[in-house]
Structure 1
Amino acid sequence: MVSHPQPSDRPPLAHRAASTTSRSTNTRRHRTGRSHAGGSYRTQNEFPNFAQTGDVEIIINADGQEKRYMLHRLILAQNSGFFEAGTSEDWSRAQARGQSSGVGPGNTLGSIGEDEESVREQGRPAYPIPQSQRFIWRYELDWGNKDEEVPMLVQKQTQPSMFGGDQYQPPPVPNKPPPPSQGFLKSMSNFSALQSASHIAKSNPSHNNGDSDTIRDYDNLFRIFYNYAPLLDATNIAESYIQCKSLLTLADMYDALGVVGPRIDHHLLQFQGRLWKQIAKYPPSYLKLGYLARSKVIFSEALVHVVGQWPSGSNQLRHAVPPDVIEVIKDKVYDLQDLQLKTEAKLFRLTLTTARGERVTPTNAYADWLALSLFRQWLAENTTPPPPPIPKTSETAQRTSNNHAQHQSPPVSAGTLFRLLGTGGSSYLARDELKRFIKLRPSSEEGNSREYLKKFERRMDDIKALAREAVRPLMKSYLELDIGRDGGGLGYLTCTKVEEDDYPWDEGA
């Protein structure tokens, strides 16, 4: 009798192995991330909280909110002169020298990044800090007296803990260390920009809810440090300007304009036509912003407007920008005025010649000479202010003088005048004005004839053609804004050309 194998309740060996492996994997998967406290836990190590690798803790308290960052000293130091100096070895040693000799090991910033020999030199035990006792720098936003001071990050004293964290201790010395060596003073020269930045921030308070704006600005600052795009308004250019200006002021305080400026430049240039119109409305403000952002396009666009309107806007700029910027403006204003005076002199020297090549005079071409006289009179009235009224003792005479002054039309602006000359045609001294002028002559058959008027108009057109050629250099516009032939309503000249050497900042900064 042949016995047959009985079916077994146990699965085949291969299936049992796969099942065991699956159960083991599932068990490990579910156990991963489970803390001893009974909840799931996952350590974050990405912006803004690099909990595993970060070594600089930054706490921003504003408007009842608290924003915490755990960032990297290396990245902060690469992007900001403030953090480069504040976490440097020289600064740490300066703090160590200011502390009492009884402070225990690991309680000073100088214990990080130093070798055994340098630790012995400072009189501290020469044993390494375990990896679990990771040391961090701590910065907190110190508001001080909000009405008088710009809040700044100040460094707080920290020490590594035996459980891997760090313990906060109040600093035994003031935040600013005692004067260190001369070499360290040279490395701290970047902080000279803090005073000017503070002045700008005080003179231009935030439009609303400044504390919330502070959190936004610091967040954008650190986002840029980590190569993230700042969160700025991309639809409302007026709001975007306020945000950009506030961020640039903060970057100036922390010596980070070289990193933040290009981001601001890129963001604002996306507005294109709307940006050019805003700069035309507020050129001094955008000149300051363009300087801080190191934006050649924004700076030169605003500079053309500022130079054309100078000295209007001078009060806004004198104490808000460095002297180098004022010097550039003054140089450009001088160049523009010099070109304008030379052009005016050339216009007053314009003349016509007869068929024989002689300069026209009252004796050889009376009608041509009259056309030149009328043109020069019109030019003089529009390039010089009206004379002051003659003082009178009589009350009636005074009223007459005032009425006469009221009826005198003031001279047009330089931009309007030269654009009229550059346009020519009937834009000035049109046919009706010429007809009224001719009627002022004594009655004569030749002077009142239609042919005489046509001849007079042709000679005036010749003069206008010469004037149009003379003012051609002033008709150039170096604006991105399209102002057209009539200047777009601008009453000033826009022919200032900004060269590479005119940007008042160091290209290597």
Structure 2
Amino acid sequence: MVSQPQPPDRPLVHRPGSVSSRSTNTRRHRTTRSHTGGVSYRPQNEFPNFAQTGDVEIIINADGQEKRYMLHRLILAQCSGFFETGTSEEWSKAQARGQNSGHGPSNTLGRIGEDDIAGRSALSGGGRLQWRYELDWGNKDDEVPMLVQKQPQTTLFGGDANQPPPVPHKPPPPAYNFLRSMSNFSAMQSASHISKANPLTPDSDIVRDYDNLFRIFYNYAPALDAVNIAESYIQCKSLLTLADMYDALEVVGPRIDHHLLQFQGRLWKQIAKYPPSYLKLGYLARSKVIFAEALVHVVGQWPSGSSQLKHTVPPDVLEVIEDKVDELQERKMKTEARLFRLTLTTPKGERVTPSNAYMDWLALSLFRQWLAENTTPPLPPLPKTPEAQQRPGHSQPPPLSSGNLFRLLGTGGSSYLARDEMKRFVKLRPDDHQRDTLKKFEKKMDEIKAMARDIVRPLMRNCLELDMGRDGGGLGYLTCTRIDEEDFPF
């Protein structure tokens, strides 16, 4: 036979672990096969079903579908005061004492007695104690469904029942702190209030909200609309309401804040359209940016938004609003007083009067008359008589809003008291209607407008993220309210 050509010679390297590694891999590979030759079943151990390490089973029945979660008490208790209390040893003992005394809660809420704990700890086969929650829809249509404890069950995935379950692996936390130093059980107390203040969402939305809630607990991004900001607002509000029920706002709020801020300019425009709604959302989400943006609008419009906020926000929020409204009103009053005291002086340093500078005094008189007409509420209409109905009426235009008034003063130039209006004023005295007289009058009026612009400059400050442009973005109110760190009620 003719031998085949051999490949280039390579040094033979002895790998001591190659044989043992192969046998180890073979043994490991064989352990994954059942005696019948098929691949053995390995329970899932990732969100939302941590079948190997989870110890809290949660069942959501809504919209004709059932969604099950197997989660960890450690993570649920860190993120929610509801679960921290409901799975605590003190709560279990209290439920057991209430059951034994006959004065405990109704049997719709499962109770974990001390005897049950001891019995399950002694189960053969390494059973592990679990907590079990189901969504209870109650008997009334106007009640918000909440999770209630049912009789816990045990699993037989191995391990010692007397030992705690292995610590689950949780993704690394984000920049903000998700862990709570302490929590309370106020969510259960406020559930009845929430059911009256918020209409029930469709069942499919409830499933979505619970899924987003648990996703946030495990540091997954919630599934919220990232295109339609109006739909995103509805979803965020519904999720925040659910988080409030389970005392988890400190965990859910930052996620909502991060999601909405991605809309940037569209978010500022929506807040300008619905400031009371976004003020409440910003408060629940503990979002300083959204809360401050909405608060500036609410203060500028007050009291137009009072009906939407009173009895729907906590007293400390109303207190902040009223304090800022008082501050703004005081600033406006002081500014108006300075404008009315505005005056011109002669070359000798004397205040102008009809005797020492008649044309200058006329310019001041016209400015003060215009200012008075736009800062004084209109007079009530006179009762109409038959004679008055026959004569053509001349209705007085309504005064400008405070925002528009101060913006005109802050703009100056021909934005108010333009040349034609000054010309008509000078014509009231035919003897003085000369070209030089009109030019002198316009020059003095420009001097007055420049002084007024300096007076109102502090009120022209825009404390919004919204870019309003030179015309104020069509807003008829001031946006100069400054929100400091100590003003946030959370």
Deviations along 1:256-286, whole A, 9 cap, x unmatched? 0111111111111111111111111111111
Is residue 430 of structure 1 aligned with residue 418 of structure 2? Answer: yes
- Structure-2 separation of matches of 1:241 and 1:266: 13
Following superposition, the deviation at residue 25 of structure 1 comes to: 6.1
Contact 1:478–1:497 at 8 Å: present in 2 too? yes
| Alpha-carbon contact 1:138-1:156 (below 8 Å) kept | yes
Listed as ranges, the matches of 1:225-244 within 5 Å are 225-244=217-236
Give, in whole Å, the separation in 1 of the partners of 2:386 and 2:223.
67
Please report how far the alpha carbon of residue 24 of structure 1 lies from its aligned counterpart in structure 2 after TM superposition: 9.9
1:125 and 1:285, CA in 2 relative to 1: closer, same or farther beyond 3 A? closer
Q: Match of 1:471, SS?
A: helix
**Structure 2 residue identity aligned to 1:65:** Q
Matched, 1:453 2:424: no
Counterpart code for 1:109:
I
Q: Which amino acid is the alignment partner of residue 398 of structure 2?
A: P
* Alignment CA distance shift 1:315-1:389 (3 Å): closer
Whether contact under 8 Å (1:33, 1:40) holds in the other structure is yes
1:157 corresponds in structure 2 to 151
What is the aligned counterpart of 2:388 among 386, 397, 401? Answer: 397
Aligned residues: 446
Q: Provide the rounded CA distance (Å) in 1 between the counterparts of 2:58 and 2:35.
A: 27
Any unmatched runs of 5+ in structure 2? 1-17, 102-109, 160-180
Asked whether the equivalents of residues 85 and 188 of structure 1 are also in contact (C-alpha less than 8 Å), the reply is no
Paired residue secondary structure (2:252): helix
Aligned counterparts of 1:281 and 1:289: Cα–Cα separation in 2: 14
**Aligned match of 1:382:** 374
Contact kept, 8 Å, 1:132 with 1:164, in 2: the verdict is: yes
Cα drift, residue 309 of structure 1: 0.3
Per the alignment, residue 109 of structure 1 pairs with 112
Aligned partner letter, 1:488 = G
2: distance between equivalents of 1:49 and 1:139?
14
Opposite residue 221 of structure 1, the aligned amino acid is: L
- Find the counterpart in structure 2 of residue 177 from structure 1: none
> What's 2:91 paired with?
91
Where in structure 2 are the equivalents of 1:202-213 lying within 5 Å?
202-205=196-199, 210-213=202-205
Q: Aligned-pair distance for 1:164? A: 7.3
Who is 1:259 aligned against? 251
- The change in CA–CA distance for 1:81 and 1:415 in structure 2 (over 3 A counts) is same
Q: Which amino acid aligns with 1:148?
A: D
- Corresponding position: 1:408 with 2:396: yes
Which residue does the alignment assign to 2:63?
63
Counterpart of 2:320? 328
Q: How far does residue 189 in structure 1 lie from its aligned partner after superposition?
A: 7.9
Kindly state the Cα deviation for residue 255 of structure 1 after the two structures are TM-superposed. Answer: 0.4
Q: Match for residue 209 of structure 2?
A: 217
8 Å contact from structure 2 (residues 346, 357) kept in 1? yes
The one-letter code of the counterpart of 1:330 is: E
TM-score (structure 1 length as normaliser): 0.81
> Is residue 80–residue 254 contact of structure 1 (8 Å, CA) maintained in 2?
yes
CA distance, structure 2, for counterparts of residue 205 and residue 399 of structure 1: 54
**Partner amino acid, structure 1, of 2:83:** F
Question: Does 2:283 align with 1:291?
Answer: yes
For each residue in 1:145-203, what CA deviation from the matched residue of structure 2 results, as whole angstroms up to 9, or x when unmatched? 452111100011224378979xxxxxxxxxxxxxxxxxxxxx99833345556545544
State the SS of the aligned residue for 2:483.
Answer: coil
Structure 1, unaligned stretches of length 5 or more? 1-17, 102-106, 112-118, 166-186
- Out of 338, 341, 359, the position equivalent to 1:349 is 341
Does residue 371 of the first structure (1) align with residue 359 of the second (2)?
Answer: no
Check the 8 A contact 1:308/1:494 in 2, yes or no: yes
From 300, 310, 315, the equivalent of 2:302 is 310
What secondary structure sits across from 1:158 in the alignment? coil
Structure 1 counterpart of 2:408, from 420, 429, 432: 420
| Secondary structure in 2 matching 1:386 | coil
- Measured in 2, the distance between the counterparts of 1:74 and 1:27 equals 35
* Aligned equivalents of 1:257, 1:425: Cα separation in 2: 51
The yes-or-no answer on 1:191 pairing with 2:185 is yes
* C-alpha distance 352-247 of structure 1, shift in aligned 2 (>3 A): same
Amino acid of the residue matched to residue 454 of structure 1?
K
Deviation track 1:447-479 (CA, whole Å, cap 9, x = no partner) reads 111000000000001110111011111000110
Of 435, 442, 450, the match for 1:465: 450
- Residue in 1 that maps onto 2:487: 502
Give distance in 1, aligned partners of 2:191 and 2:364.
Answer: 57
Please give the per-residue CA displacement for 1:297-337, whole angstroms capped at 9, x wherever unaligned: 11000000000001111111112211100000000000000
Equivalent residue of 1:139, what SS? strand
Q: Is the 8 A contact 1:382 1:411 kept in 2?
A: yes
CA displacement at 1:396 relative to structure 2: 2.8
3-state SS of the aligned residue for 1:149?
coil
Closer, same or farther in 2 for the Cα pair 1:147/1:41, shift >3 Å?
Answer: same
TM-score of the aligned structures, taking structure 2 as reference length: 0.84
Answer yes or no: is the 8 Å Cα contact 1:73–1:87 preserved in 2. Answer: yes
What is the distance in 2 between the residues matched to 1:247 and 1:458? 61
Q: 1:310 to 1:427 in 2, by over 3 A?
A: same
Paired with 1:265 and 1:201, the residues of 2 have a C-alpha distance of 24
Query: Contact 1:59–1:66 at 8 Å: present in 2 too?
Result: yes
Alignment partners' CA distance in 2, 1:341 and 1:25: 84
**1:408-432 deviation line (CA, Å, top 9, x unaligned):** 1000111000000000000000000
1:14-33 matches, cutoff 5 A: 29=29, 32-33=32-33
Partner SS for 1:360: coil
CA distance in 1, matches of 2:446, 2:35: 93
Amino acid at match of 1:475: M
Could you tell me how far apart the structure 2 residues matched to 1:267 and 1:161 are? 38
Which residue number corresponds to residue 50 of structure 1? Answer: 50
State the distance in 1 between where 2:43 and 2:117 align: 37
Aligned counterpart, 2:170: none
Question: 1:147 — aligned with what?
Answer: 141
The sequence identity of aligned pairs, in percent, is 74
CA 1:54–1:279: 2 relative to 1, 3 Å:
same
